[in-house]
Structure 1
Amino acid sequence: MDLDHLIGRATGLAGGAGAALLRQLQHVRLPGAGQASATDAPEVAARRWRAVTVLREPADVDAAGLPAPLAALGDRIEVRTTPAPGDRGTELAARYRGTPGEEEIGDLRAALREAKALLEVGEVLRVDPQPHGTRAATPQGAALEGAAEAAPREGVL
């Protein structure tokens, strides 16, 4: 068995163990925090408010109007702004009026992150294309490329 095959096998086993641990953690109840929404019925989880904290006063966020990424979703969404806990700016939240699909939830998450960036700094920073070229064709490089591609919809790296 050559070294590359051995390293690839070890990487696969470690990834499988990590995925199994995350599946277990989705069902853990934390005192005072409840249970992960991943275990909710899909209809319930889809109707949740998604929110970001914007480091601006609520009056500034309201005066700026609906940011373009959220405005692009039109009247399919509800939007609310409230003062963030601990006097930390404004909580900008949105949810779909109906029951959205998984792809639409990803679109809403991406729109909220882009709206936050526009309200705080005036532009949305992008990491692609890579200024230094492409990553090496390794298992880790492929995993990083996949994560970077999914990040706008699923979360921040």
Structure 2
Amino acid sequence: MALSGKRVFQFEIKSSGNLFHELWKTKPHELPSLTPTTIQNCQVLDGQVGTVGSILLWNYFHDGKDCVSKARIKDINESKKSITFEVLEGDVLEQYKTFISHVQVDKHGSNNLVSWTVEYEKLNPNIPDPDTFMEICKQMAKDIETHHLQN
């Protein structure tokens, strides 16, 4: 059984892909109000939000418990409308040696396609793949889409 892997989730949105990208890049502190069942808080610990190297502290709800994650913005690609986060500390690292999340928005006809990719390395072969984390991504995408379409 492989310890390293990758999971991908795609979600078509009718709202602006630029708004979605900017939200993750420069306004992550707004996510708790948009996704209250998933994200409770996001704050900048170091650096400036929207810049590579800045460190964010996330409080979120996962598998029935409150969790914490300290993540660094590893990469921002404006032409691809993507942002990459690398988890440095937190609950997820109790099961995974590495955990990197990519959020990207692509034009797909008249709509936009949000892609979430999670790259990970398990601490041991008994650890499950991070499918429940992908469920969080799906819920966040749906919540953000619902909010943007209502406004």
Shorter-chain TM band: 0.3 to 0.5
Task: Considering Cα pairs closer than 8 Å and 6+ residues apart, tell me whether 1 or 2 has the greater RCO.
Answer: 2
The structure carrying a bigger helix percent of its residues is: 1
Instruction: Say which structure is richer in strand.
Output: 2
Q: Which structure would you say has the larger Rg?
A: 1
